[in-house]
Amino acid sequence: NAGVTQTPKFRVLKTGQSMTLLCAQDMNHEYMYWYRQDPGMGLRLIHYSVGEGTTAKGEVPDGYNVSRLKKQNFLLGLESAAPSQTSVYFCASISASYNEQFFGPGTRLTVL
Amino acid sequence: KQEVTQIPAALSVPEGENLVLNCSFTDSAIYNLQWFRQDPGKGLTSLLLIQSSQREQTSGRLNASLDKSSGRSTLYIAASQPGDSATYLCAVRTSGTYKYIFGTGTRLKVLA
């Protein structure tokens, strides 16, 4: 039981490049979330999903897209990376019946 | 709009001291509140989850209380140890939403 895993752990991009971050959970959780964490600003919600095939915007969705084609996976895409997207990205999953959030280890992204 | 505040931003205490961390929220119609611990460069580890109908939860040396009417939760740590040094974050889910709003955390240092 690996819990919540994130791929990759680190990435450096140039401005304008695209990439996809993968979040996978093996706990059969219904809800999944993508957050970014910046110094002094805490965690901010980017997008979330309450079930396979559904997604919704969080607090800071601009510049990101997401997909949840399979229940266990939640992908976060950056179509054209900007330096303002330099951050640590965390994924979390939650069981609909108990509501405790479980977090992945994070992806540290630098956009030059 | 739900806003979550954690004061103080940083705290240093000598080993063995009992301490209280605070989390305030502006909308009392919450679904649940969760406390996390984050070590430097790591992900978030769940400590305690308090459902809306509960007044407190306990785990070992940790006790979290919830007072919805005053918009406050406290995390009590008994007999603090150097290993408790970390950043502590609270997250609030407002009723009728799937979104979690995080405070910016309290950075705790327990001195040996």
Taking 90 as the threshold, does the pLDDT of residue A2 lie above it?
A: no
Please report the pLDDT score of residue A84 as a whole number: 96
A38, two tokens: 């910046």
β-bridge pairing B10-14 and B106-111: parallel
Residue A101 to residue B100, Cβ atoms within 8 A: yes
Determine the pLDDT at residue A33.
97
C-alpha B23/C-alpha B105 separation (Å) is 9
How high is the pLDDT of residue A71?
A: 96
CA distance A64 to A19: 10
Q: Which of B100, B101, B102, B104 to mutate to test the interface with A (most CBs of A within 10 A)?
A: B100
List the structure tokens of B29.
């119609």
Alpha-carbon A37 to chain mean position: 11
Rounded CA-CA distance A103/A6 in Å is 10
What are the chain A neighbours of B107 within 8 Å (beta carbons)?
none
Q: Give CA A9 to chain center in angstroms.
A: 12
What are the structure tokens assigned to A89, written together?
């990205």
Number of other residues whose CB lies within 10 A of the CB of residue A13:
18
Residue A47 pLDDT > 90: yes
What distances in angstroms separate CA B41 from CA A19, A56, A72, B2, B81, one per listed residue? Answer: 22, 28, 25, 27, 20
Say yes or no for a CB contact (<8 Å) between A40 and B104: yes
Task: List, for residues A10-31, the tens digit of each pLDDT value.
Answer: 999 999 999 999 999 999 999 9
